[in-house]
Structure 1
Amino acid sequence: MEKTYQLSDWLPTTKKEMQIRGWENVDVIIISGDAYIDHPAFGSGVLGRILESYGLTVAVIPQPNVNDNLQDFTKLGAPNLFFAVTSGAMDSMVSNYTASKRKRDKDAYTPNGDIGFRPDYAVTVYTKILKDKFPNVPVLIGGIEASLRRVTHYDYWSDTLKPNILTESGADLLVYGMGEQPLKELVNLLQRGVPFSSLKTIKQTAFLQTKQEDLPKNKNWEDVEIGSHEDCLKDKLIYASNFKVIEQESNKVFGRRILQQVKDDILVINPPFPTMTESEIDHSYDLPYTRLPHPKYNKRGPIPAYEMIKFSINIHRGCFGGCSFCTISAHQGKFIASRSKESILSEVDKVTQMPGFKGYLSDIGGPSANMYKMKGKVQSICDKCVAPSCISPVICHNLDTSHQPLTDIYQSVDAHPKVKKSFIGSGIRYDMLVPEFNKNADPKELDAYTEEVITNHVSGRLKVAPEHTSDAVLKIMRKPSFKYFHKFKKRFDQINLKKRLNLQLIPYFISSHPACELEDMANLAAETKDMGFQLEQVQGFTPTPMTVATVIYYSGYHPYTLKKVYTPKTSRDKKEQHQFFFWYKKENRDWIRNTLQKVNRNDLLEKLLPADVLRNTQKKNKAKNNPKNKTEEGYKSIFQGKKHSTKRR
């Protein structure tokens, strides 16, 4: 039976809604670049419910207008404790622009996909307005935009090296990564009467202080100082070398406190919290969400991002893949925080009672679908580890990659009387399902999971991300050799045939990634064509803050080796790499033919455009056998012979 809700079941977004609850003011006001959706997959919804569970009164101002008299920022008055600012589920620049820096025509986190409701650099814009309107009220920033811009970073859209976002925005405190743990400690201290300005030793936070001030003391922390922002501006090598420290400290169980000078200030980034325990992450997902967008959007149209995930279940956080181009581990961490089976099944039951549910769950997954419950076998080994990835270049011998808990979850979910079918919409790390790569796992268990997914949880297409075919590029990406994708495809085809299914395997690839030459893209196109693929899912590399690939893109150096790495940068370079994906389009044939002939790669040309090569060969043979041409050739040879004989004389 569908549950009915009252307006007061959502956190208030207006003064009138506050009054319905009997509130004249609130403790915290959340400012978000997303529409307000009270759902565990959306940041402002989670943040609001978490703060509420700590005993605070909370209101939300979603997508405030920054182009009028700014009344949205003042309509609820000043909060008792602080403003909490986030750009939303995405960095606002990624949300607003494509990889080629064109304005997007849709915003997935806005009703009807409308654009124009989220400003560029939203966290900075919102914070500056609040600091102007309420100079004495603290501003706490968080979410992915703040988290990944917490230190000197390259901003692709302005093509500049920017300082940390605290310096840019004027915010008082930054929470990076998943916010539940630092927020709990922060609220606890405030409730005990500690002033906001004294919150300097909370893990997973960052702040600015002057050089003259003494650093806050914590006898359990060690400090590490990285190159100053000014030094990074002068020397790209310093900027690159900084990143190794930042990434390693962010992924340690016991990280050091990072210090960086910025003009007359010092940026202080406190170490992260340990990975959330099962009970901690369960608490976050078990809060009383309505799981619905705020009723204010009822007449404005559906919110695309919500429509995509409203019948999905997130079962864990974190990713130990450490891919060079990906920000997930930088934000969520490399260690996996998994929910209990009971919490997951409880949420499934809630989803089955939602309006419009027809028995189909769109996804049971996480950042990578098949990392649930995976962790180190011996924790003391993980405690000392500084590797950014647990599976690159090889799978760590200490990593437990058992897929049995996942298989059990899938089968338990499908046993629910109201669930007809559950799908795996999140990306699957196919490499962990290949015994030749995952040598520590039980091959039978991997095979059982693979068959379970392909047989029962794929809706026509299984999407995986080999990303490239070149081993040199894949090494920079921290991805395994493409030969393992061949092995996975072979198993996929066997199961497809055995079960008499008609499923498609859809591989994702990236063009213009650091270390990728034009010839690598030609090889990619030829090899995937040989495998029977006509590629559709294509992504141009987008440099985003806090990734290895972005550091290479800007600096030209790999942060771990400090060796130079080529990166395609010009719009022409990127367009040409992209064109090879679409070898089957008529408009690309001439360019592909000319390009491969110039680099003397007729072998690739014959693979990509065999019909064109055949036609050209036939034309040449026809011309060669033409009597007229033979006569002309004869005259030509006689003339050349005379010329040569004259020279000999």
Structure 2
Amino acid sequence: MFLPTTVEEVERLGWKELDVILVTGDAYVDHPSFGVALIGHYLLSKGYRVGVIAQPDWHSGEDITRLGRPRLFFGISGGNVDSMVANYTASMKKRKTDDYSPGGIGGKRPDRAVIVYSNLVRRFFPKVPIVLGGLEASLRRFAQYDWWSDTLRKSILLDAKADLLVYGMAEKAVLQIAQTLEKTKDITSCHGIPGTVFWTSQRPENGIELPSFEEISQDKSKYAKATALLQFWTDPYRNVLIYQKQDNRYVVQNPPQLPLEQEELDRLYLLDFERRTHPYYARMGTVPALEMIQFSITAVRGCYGMCSFCALTHHQTTHVLSRSIDSIIEEAKMLTKHPDFRGTISDVGGPTANMYNSKCQRRETQGQCKKFCLHPAVCENAKVTHEDYLELLEKVKSVEGVKHLFVSSGIRHDLILMDKDADRIIKKLVDFTPGQLKLAPEHAHPKVLKLMRKPPAELFLEFKRRFESLSKTLSKKRYVIGYFIVAHPGESMHENDYLKKFIQRNLGYHPQQIQIFTPSPGTLSTAMYYTGIDPITGEEVFVERSLKHRNKMKQNVNTNG
């Protein structure tokens, strides 16, 4: 069912009021890949009445007040991506399009959406608790470098004047907030809930203290140190409180929630999602993001790839959680009954599909160690069970009504190549590839790849060679397409020319999948960009900050000669 977006819908459900109202910068798409839909249905399954206000007009109170006052709290999210990333290109130009808006039209969410929506709610509902969540809030929970203003900004919790922030995959935390407010009616009683961030005027008596806002503003090396500390200590199995002084207040992060149990994750993704855009928003046009994932299935959460530029480590964490095969098959059967389904499941995976059912005794008992699991080489403890994933794909493909099944999620080719049955696994992947298998080597120069924490380019070439060779033996035309990033910290024109020659020699075409690095909040790469320091090693890093030269790097890789 759709969560209500109007008073009329609330009344049709027989509800007199809403317990929680969720506000989002995306159109309301009732699909488990959209955070607000996932949280909303989870709360609904626990007995709470939840409404959604998507992409409200921030110039008036008409939209934000249309569902009235929630009994417990407003939950505010910028959407599936940071609003500044959604609104601006890597060349700092305003986007005209937005894949998460009806008709793909840009401009339907404000810059710094979480702050704008929070202020709007506070204006019309001054006494209702405000809880921030989603990617924008999660990655900006402490002081962070903001590329768009080229400044350090305080925690979004303070800038938004909100009461509480949930970070990461927040089902458990949001439910505990609702249950606590039900009993106490006092948002400060939620300050001890794992997976939340709050502010206080009192310095915590224990925990890890990050360099203060004043310190990181005066010394970039302190910002690099804060980034490294946050990455290492934010782990559910370390159970450490982290805090940072900002002016005369302290921003305090409780330890993360433990990951959901498999049974909880199974039940979550089998809830009653419509997998459509709500009619209120669909009348304005289709939402491009839905077209790609409408009939996809999430099989796994988390990723221990720990790429420097990726936000997943800070949001879904390195702890891999996999659903049961039975649950995924049940979801596939549900898809075949959907009125829009035409026989194709576009993806079964997650952040990294072939991490399905992978285990690490060290990570799952003591937390992520200081080493990177896959860099500079695959750790012997990063166990991968490709057999389980291949069995999953075969069983889903055999579900009556499923004509085609593809793997569109990220694949770590270095994990496949280390498997003793690599060729057999690759052959199976050929069967689930819709013409092109998209991989992300990201660069070719060893120095840049080291800073990105990506595997050597030679492994990409080896996988490409074997995949395309095995495709021919199966009489199938299947190819590997590479995604690349330019202007990442560590890349000068020398490394850029190296990448250009690598592509010319080994790919034989000019790839369209080249993007300019965007310093999005919270990542190691963004800390490198701001400080010129690798937070993990302390080494100095060259950074190209000129927009003109950053654009030139992309043009150079895309041209002949």
**Residue in 2 that maps onto 1:430:** 413
2:374 pairs, out of 391, 405, 413, with 391
1:416-469 CA-to-partner distances (Å, cap 9, x unmatched) read 1211110111121111111xxx3xx4x11x322211011x11111111011111
Offset of 1:401 from its aligned partner?
A: 1.1
TM-score by length of 1: 0.84
**SS of residue paired to 2:234:** helix
1:192 pairs, out of 165, 183, 186, with 183
**Residue in 2 that maps onto 1:548:** 524
1:129 pairs, out of 95, 114, 120, with 120
CA distance in 1, matches of 2:507, 2:101: 38
**SS of residue paired to 1:431:** helix
**SS of residue paired to 2:255:** coil
Offset of 1:517 from its aligned partner?
A: 1.7
Contact 1:325 1:477 in 2 (8 A): yes
Matched, 1:30 2:14: no
TM-score by length of 2: 0.97
**Residue in 2 that maps onto 1:466:** 441
- Structure 1's 28 and 543: CA in aligned 2 closer, same or farther, altered over 3 A? same
Matched to 1:404, the amino acid is E
Offset of 1:396 from its aligned partner?
A: 1.7
Bigger radius of gyration: 1
- Structure 1's 532 and 393: CA in aligned 2 closer, same or farther, altered over 3 A? closer
Matched to 2:496, the amino acid is M
Matched to 1:571, the amino acid is L
Offset of 1:265 from its aligned partner?
A: 0.5
Query: After the TM superposition, which residues 196-207 of structure 1 pair with which residues of structure 2 at under 5 Å, given as runs?
Result: 196-207=187-198
Query: After the TM superposition, which residues 627-642 of structure 1 pair with which residues of structure 2 at under 5 Å, given as runs?
Result: none
Contact 2:72 2:185 in 1 (8 A): no
Contact 1:315 1:339 in 2 (8 A): yes
- Structure 1's 574 and 36: CA in aligned 2 closer, same or farther, altered over 3 A? same
Matched, 1:558 2:534: yes
Contact 1:252 1:386 in 2 (8 A): no
Offset of 1:280 from its aligned partner?
A: 1.8
- Structure 1's 357 and 381: CA in aligned 2 closer, same or farther, altered over 3 A? closer
**Residue in 1 that maps onto 2:515:** 539
Matched to 1:174, the amino acid is L
Contact 1:259 1:269 in 2 (8 A): yes
2:352 pairs, out of 365, 368, 372, with 368
- Structure 1's 380 and 126: CA in aligned 2 closer, same or farther, altered over 3 A? closer
Contact 1:163 1:262 in 2 (8 A): yes
| Stretch deviating more after TM superposition (380-389 or 279-288) | 380-389
Matched to 1:52, the amino acid is L
CA distance in 2, matches of 1:74, 1:532: 55
**Residue in 2 that maps onto 1:61:** 53
Offset of 1:297 from its aligned partner?
A: 3.0
CA distance in 1, matches of 2:541, 2:138: 27
Contact 2:319 2:363 in 1 (8 A): no
Matched, 1:208 2:192: no
Matched, 1:417 2:400: yes
Offset of 1:78 from its aligned partner?
A: 1.1
Offset of 1:277 from its aligned partner?
A: 1.6
RMSD: 1.5
**Residue in 2 that maps onto 1:521:** 496
**SS of residue paired to 1:510:** strand
CA distance in 1, matches of 2:547, 2:48: 50
**Residue in 1 that maps onto 2:428:** 452
Offset of 1:380 from its aligned partner?
A: 7.2
- Structure whose residues are more often helix by fraction: 1
**SS of residue paired to 1:279:** helix
1:295 pairs, out of 275, 279, 291, with 279
Matched, 1:254 2:238: yes
Contact 2:61 2:124 in 1 (8 A): no
Contact 1:381 1:398 in 2 (8 A): no
1:491 pairs, out of 450, 457, 466, with 466
1:380-404 CA-to-partner distances (Å, cap 9, x unmatched) read 7751543363111221221211211
Contact 2:363 2:369 in 1 (8 A): no
Contact 1:248 1:388 in 2 (8 A): no
2:3 pairs, out of 4, 11, 16, with 11
1:18-68 CA-to-partner distances (Å, cap 9, x unmatched) read 11122232111111111111111111111111111221111111110012x
1:145 pairs, out of 130, 136, 141, with 136
CA distance in 2, matches of 1:283, 1:381: 22
Query: After the TM superposition, which residues 39-188 of structure 1 pair with which residues of structure 2 at under 5 Å, given as runs?
Result: 39-67=31-59, 69-188=60-179
Contact 2:444 2:499 in 1 (8 A): yes
1:76-116 CA-to-partner distances (Å, cap 9, x unmatched) read 22111000000111111111111111111211111111122
**Residue in 2 that maps onto 1:621:** none
